[in-house]
Amino acid sequence: MRTAPTILHLDMDAFYASAEQASKPSLRGKAVIVGGLGPRGVVATASYEARVFGVHSAMPMAQARRLAPNAAYLVPRFGFYREISEQVMGLLRTLSPLVEPLSLDEAFVDLEAGGAAWDEESARLTGVRLRVDIRAVTGLTGSVGLAASKMLAKIASEQAKPDGLVLIRPGTERALLGPMPARTLPGVGPATGDHLRRAGITTVDEIAEAGEDELVRLLGKAHGHALYAMALAHDDRPVVAEREAKSVSVEDTYDVDIHDRVRIGLEVQRLADRCVRRLRDAGLSGRTIVLKVRRYDFSTLTRSETLRGPTDDPAVVREAAARLLESVDTTGGVRLLGVGVSGLADYTQEDLFAQAQLAAGEAGAEQHPETERADVPVEEEPAAQAGHLWRAGHDVRHTEYGHGWVQGSGLGRVTVRFETPDSEPGRVRTFRTDDPRLEPADPLPLVPRRPEASPRTA
């Protein structure tokens, strides 16, 4: 492990919810919950104001509504979040060529590799400047952890939340980790935590005191060795600039179980097209097509088929998914469907074009226009962008009142609050859902884009 705290971990604060608050002046300082709004939806992110009520990510949305009935509940806008993420990742890449994104809002950076830091003071100054730059470019806040290893940098950023910076000085790691709960260490989830607790181990110090042999006996060789090393603050994992994706997949959970076999087939085809768009956006192709079906009784089935070579052809993926569906009994209804592609590669074998022709038939060998790469985020259903299905939180424009966002809709009406990121809280108006003066709109930038140089030049 290195001797200077030059590994940086950035974690944006309540990212989705904070982006929504910055975008919507009327929601600033209020409880905001982003996620699936149907009966089976889950919370993606809760603002810090919502967390006061006990709401947290991965919680069922129905439970969140009971805990915080007066919060604002919004459908995610993944395309918007991705744009902000690209701005943040761009700032990180000015610091070092070794940036390891973990998600849209989280990444490791090896500051030493980019010459941005070489000791404690330079690392701290770099972290301070990064937080200032992120706020200037995106209007949002992020928490920064600095340490000599990835594990400790991530722990530091957790301690820094929200909107802070924590640096763990080399030599102080053991004393810092010791009293922390065992769940603090990577790889100690609920199951491992329960297993350790039954053995009387609840803190990191107690993990270290148990010894390597005992941990191997309790958890197995690989997990026991790794956990003992982490308890001693040993973590030599490097920051890896390109994290290899193992699969690409999309799935939808339905508010009401689907029983109609034709409808199920159409849903699978639609998911296959979305999956291919995601593949192409990543510049990937894959050999193994995977179908996931969760039935009415919560039993989950997966079926897979491996092709002769990698493909990103929608006709091939649709046909393979349809064949897989034929082997699944759906008579009792399904509540979730998913299509994925694994065995990824960054190329496509030319001879698979013939396979696409066979799948599509002679008349349909030419690719359909709707299966070309689309600009809509793959996580959102196409209906959210077309067909005027007004989703809570999504952007709209009115020919008279200008830019706004959907507060809610139902019974043939849609309620819109008209405001922009740099306006005062706006007025609310209600329209018919088919009002020709109202149409979906693209999100506005949180910070007005200026042609002059970035804030780093000041």
Single-letter residue type at 330: T
What tokens were used for 403?
């830019």
Q: Are strands 165-167 and 142-147 parallel, antiparallel or unpaired?
A: parallel
Exposed/middle/buried for 78, CB within 10 Å: 0-12, 13-18, 19+? middle
Q: How does 248-276 read in b/e, with b if 16+ C-beta sit within 10 Å?
A: bbbeebbeeebeeeeebeebbbbbbbbbb
**What spatial distance separates the first Cα and last Cα of the chain, rounded to whole Å?**
35
Backbone angles phi, psi at 153, to 5 degrees: -65, -40
**How many whole angstroms separate alpha carbon 155 and alpha carbon 183?**
11
- 8 A C-beta contact, residue 137 and residue 22: no
**How many whole angstroms separate alpha carbon 373 and alpha carbon 351?**
21
- 8 A C-beta contact, residue 174 and residue 148: no
- Angle CA(113)–CA(118)–CA(120) in degrees, nearest 5? 135
Query: What would the 3-class secondary structure string for 269-297 be?
Result: HHHHHHHHHHHHHCCCEEEEEEEEEEECC
Question: 149 by DSSP, 3-state: which?
Answer: coil
Owner of token pair 């706020």: 135
CA distances from 35 to 16, 41, 72, 80 (A): 9, 7, 11, 14
Owner of token pair 């922390």: 180
- 8 A C-beta contact, residue 19 and residue 81: yes
**Which residues are known catalytic residues?**
106
What tokens were used for 368?
């359909």
CA distances from 442 to 37, 96, 432, 447, 451 (A): 21, 32, 21, 15, 21
Exposed/middle/buried for 23, CB within 10 Å: 0-12, 13-18, 19+? buried
